[in-house]
Amino acid sequence: MNVKLENRVQHYRTVWMEGDVVRMIDQPKIPHSFEILELHDYKETGMAIRNMNIRGAGAIGATAGYAMAQAVLHAPKDDYGKLVGYVEEAAGYIRSMRPTAQNLFYAVDKVLDAVYGADNPEAAVISAIKTAQGIADEDADSCKRIGEHGEKLIKDGYRILTHCNAGWLAFVDYGSALSPIYVADEKGKKVFVYADETRPRLQGARLTAWELGQQGIEHKIIADNVSGWIMQLGMVDMVIVGSDRIAANGDVANKIGTYEKAVLAKENRIPFYVAAPTSTIDLDSKSGKDIPIEERDEDEVLYVRGYCNSTGKMEKVRVSPKDSHALNLAFDVTPAKYIKGIITEKGIIKPNKKSIAKLFK
């Protein structure tokens, strides 16, 4: 998507690779600064995933693919067996970075299969780089098509609620939940967005609001607990969220707080949609009960980070009693019964086993 920097507009992808260096937008710095992070090997790139310099299903997947390509580039080239062993070790490391995002595992396995399909080190390098770039390009193309399908659900004047950030920063480009909104805006539809702040990392307040502002789309940031009340007041026409993993039966894992938005939407007869590329679907997870839920550092809840005017820097401030501890579950699972439909690059489907299985035939 386009980013306004000073007096110019420039197109950026969220993450890309030049030579053996992975470059990405450093997301914790947004909205107060726009900086590009450079990562020189698979361990640095993996840590960027763990530390959430980059986050969001598709962006994590593309980054994992590039990290795998870095591993192949830096692996021993004198012996194909040594190369494979090195890359397999790297794959285990990258898989350990985030447990919930299906796209990470999809990308690691896809590049690993490309290495297995090669019969010499040179062929492995070529295949790994091509596969990693293909994962990123596929993600961007899928999200563009998600926007084209999802836009048809949006009527002129719609007020849309979204949770967390499932815009282009969460993918390689375009995004999932925000992609239909961008397409609707491009077609001249008037759209208003309520962006949940999304505690504890505030991706909605920081990232979604920044994206919408960059695109000139009218919006307001709301505290997470406001959504139910404005639904009851008739101020929300639809809800669109993203997903980090979708089970074979249509259950959806997404940022913590998504489940309660879905329940509230159902109670208030508001359509609740999930937007995600098919790479987010995990057929090995039969239901949401099979999806691992990441628990992150309690400090994300006990402290808040923000821009300090007096120092001109990002500061960390404790908001809780010094002896208190926190439970910081990063995701929850929304049962399929609360979901009106899943917007994929192949079309809008019902959240059930039969409809999902058809996507892979």
3 state DSSP class of 325: coil
- The answer to whether 244 is a known catalytic residue is yes
Give me the amino acid identity at 84: V
318 beta partners: 303
CA torsion sign for 271, 138, 71, 79 is positive
CA torsion sign for 258, 262, 264, 269 is positive
Alpha-carbon span 263 to 244, nearest angstrom? 19
Alpha-carbon span 335 to 147, nearest angstrom? 24
Residue 347 burial (CB < 10 Å; 0-12/13-18/19+)? middle
3 state DSSP class of 17: strand
Q: How many CA atoms lie within 13 A of 171 on its CB side?
A: 31
The one catalytic residue in 139, 185, 196, 244 is 244
CB atoms within 10 A of CB 300: 17
Query: Strand (E) positions, 197-344?
Result: 219-222, 238-241, 245-247, 252-255, 272-275, 281-282, 303-308, 313-318, 331-334, 341-344
Q: Which helix (H) or strand (E) element contains residue 91?
A: helix 80-95
Alpha-carbon span 317 to 249, nearest angstrom? 42
How many whole angstroms from its chain centre is CA 65? Answer: 15
Catalytic sites, residue numbers? 244
